[in-house]
């Protein structure tokens, strides 16, 4: 394998989060399923925003959050994602570059605005997300720089990329280059409703060997195999994919690799403030560890620690150095 410049390259929807505290009443009134991600158009975005309280704007996007976490651990990250050349797009680009992440996807001019995710955080810490994809719909194969793909140990993509029509082509283009350079290709299932929309395609990515490392939580896994039984789903996944990680909230994570299973407990959290980014940051730790050659258990512990940090505060990006946090917890970085 030739030398690599990056630990992890992410491809994801480049989104600015608009986060507000909300009462359960708002979810009921707006007919929203708690904990879900809903795709909305601009008119619905304006309507929901009008119903939300004062908000905070922070860079988000599932894959981008993961790469931000990799950088916070001291890893070398790169990201492909499409923003517009507007104020929110400028903020997104600033925030990811300020972490030292390589982010050079061209900004969109004269098209839809930068994507926004209206996030309602209820008092239980759950987040309900409403995404206006905007400029993300313009990410396509032309945005894939093959040199960057070749220069990254791991290519990591979000299932949400199946929503904007051109982005899945970008995903497949990137996967082709990654395979040509013998890189690991990882996918996160993103959301159980997303899995429901693209079940056949996601299974095909696994069964064709395009994706060789899968991330998902229990409800996404249940959706993928249309079962309510985790053991049934895990057995099916083991047949479809050589390497997978199932996150189980406070029950920790299970790594499935080559017929072996490793269960790792969750890292303790004093108070859950906002669950946004939990899965994204778990992937940060796991992927960083993998790129550095650590064993699956250590990778999962790094993931659990990063997830615990991000749910202890508002917002989906780490607020402290994850590298220092890992060192304080006796984990290698």
Q: For the stretch 274-287, what's the b/e string if a residue is b when 16 or more beta carbons lie within 10 angstroms of its beta carbon?
A: bbbbbbbbbbbbbb
In the window 103-142, what residues touch a copy of itself (CB under 8 A)? 113-114
- Tell the smallest beta-carbon distance from residue 54 to a copy of itself (Å): 4
Least distance to a copy of itself from the beta carbon of 58, Å?
Answer: 5
- By beta-carbon proximity to a copy of itself, the closer residue of 104 and 196 is 104
Residues 6+ apart with CB under 8 A from 65: 277, 280, 281, 284, 310, 316, 317
Cα separation of 218 and 316, whole Å? 20
Nearest distance from C-beta of residue 178 to a copy of itself, angstroms: 27
Listed residue (164, 218, 157) closest to 192, CA to CA: 218
* Residue with smaller CB distance to a copy of itself, 38 or 114: 114
Considering only residues 54 to 83 of the shown chain, the ones binding a copy of itself according to CB under 8 A are 54-59, 68
Residue reference for tokens 């099916």: 236
Q: Does 328 bind a copy of itself (CB under 8 A)?
A: no
Choose one: 95-103, 243-251, 284-292, 325-333; the region binding a copy of itself (CB under 8 A).
95-103
Instruction: Provide, rounded to whole angstroms, the least separation between the CB of residue 50 and a copy of itself.
Output: 7
Strands of the sheet containing 213-217, edge to edge, are 102-103, 77-80, 6-11, 152-158, 184-188, 213-217, 243-247, 253-257, 260-264
Query: Residue from 64, 99, 115, 121 that binds a copy of itself (CB under 8 A)?
Result: 99
Position among 37, 83, 88, 205 found at the interface with a copy of itself (CB under 8 A): 88
Shorter beta-carbon distance to a copy of itself: residue 69 or 296: 69
- Considering the complex, state which of residue 55 and residue 236 has its C-beta at the smaller distance from a copy of itself: 55
C-beta atoms surrounding 192 within 10 Å:
20
Binding of a copy of itself by 317 (CB under 8 A) = yes
- Smallest gap from residue 98 Cβ to a copy of itself (A): 5
Q: Quote the CA–CA distance of 163 and 155 in Å, as a whole number.
A: 19
- For position 274 contacting a copy of itself by CB under 8 A, the verdict is no
Q: How many residues bind a copy of itself (CB under 8 A)?
A: 27
Single residue of 86, 163, 173, 280 touching a copy of itself by CB under 8 A: 86
The token pair that represents 261 in the structure block: 């299973």
* Cα–Cα dist 272/307, whole Å: 11
Span 7-36, contacts to a copy of itself by CB under 8 A:
18, 21
What dihedral do alpha carbons 307, 285, 210, 37 form, nearest 10°? 20
Locus of tokens 């986060």: 19
Considering only residues 32 through 51, tell me which ones interact with a copy of itself, judged by CB under 8 A.
49-50
Question: Does an H or E element contain 37, and which?
Answer: strand 37-39
Measured from the CB of residue 75, what is the shortest distance to a copy of itself in angstroms?
Answer: 16
- In sequence order, the 6+-apart residues with CB closer than 8 A to the CB of 180 are 150
Binding positions for a copy of itself, rule: CB under 8 A:
18, 21, 49-50, 52-59, 68, 86-88, 91, 94-96, 98-99, 113-114, 315, 317, 319
């Amino acid at each position: 394998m030739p030398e690599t410049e990056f630990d992890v390259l992410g491809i994801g929807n480049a989104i600015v989060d608009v986060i507000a505290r909300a009462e359960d009443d708002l979810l009921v009134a707006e007919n929203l399923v708690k904990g879900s991600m809903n795709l909305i158009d601009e008119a619905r975005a304006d309507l929901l925003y009008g119903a939300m309280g004062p908000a905070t704007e922070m860079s988000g996007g599932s894959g981008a959050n993961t790469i931000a976490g990799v950088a916070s651990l001291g890893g070398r990250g790169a990201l492909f994602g499409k923003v517009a050349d507007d104020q929110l797009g400028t903020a997104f680009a600033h925030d990811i570059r300020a972490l030292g992440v390589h982010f050079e996807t061209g900004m969109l001019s004269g098209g839809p605005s930068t994507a926004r995710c209206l996030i309602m955080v209820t008092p239980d810490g759950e987040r309900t997300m409403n995404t206006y994809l905007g400029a993300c719909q313009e990410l396509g194969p032309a945005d894939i720089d093959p040199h960057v793909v070749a220069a990254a140990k791991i290519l990591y993509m979000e299932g949400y990329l199946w929503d904007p029509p051109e982005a899945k082509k970008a995903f497949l283009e990137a996967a082709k280059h990654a395979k040509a350079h013998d890189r690991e290709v990882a996918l996160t299932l993103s959301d159980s409703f997303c899995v429901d929309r693209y079940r056949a395609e996601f299974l095909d990515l696994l069964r064709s060997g395009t994706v060789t490392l899968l991330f998902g939580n229990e409800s996404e896994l249940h959706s993928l195999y249309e079962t309510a039984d985790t053991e049934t789903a895990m057995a099916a996944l083991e047949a479809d994919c050589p390497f997978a990680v199932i996150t189980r909230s406070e029950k920790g994570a299970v790594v499935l690799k080559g017929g072996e299973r490793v269960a790792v407990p969750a890292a303790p959290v004093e108070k859950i403030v906002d669950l946004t980014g939990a899965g994204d940051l778990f992937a940060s730790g796991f992927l960083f560890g993998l790129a550095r050659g650590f064993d699956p258990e250590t990778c999962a512990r790094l993931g659990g620690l990063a997830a615990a940090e991000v749910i202890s505060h508002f917002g989906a990006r780490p607020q402290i150095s994850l590298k220092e946090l890992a060192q304080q917890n006796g984990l290698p970085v």
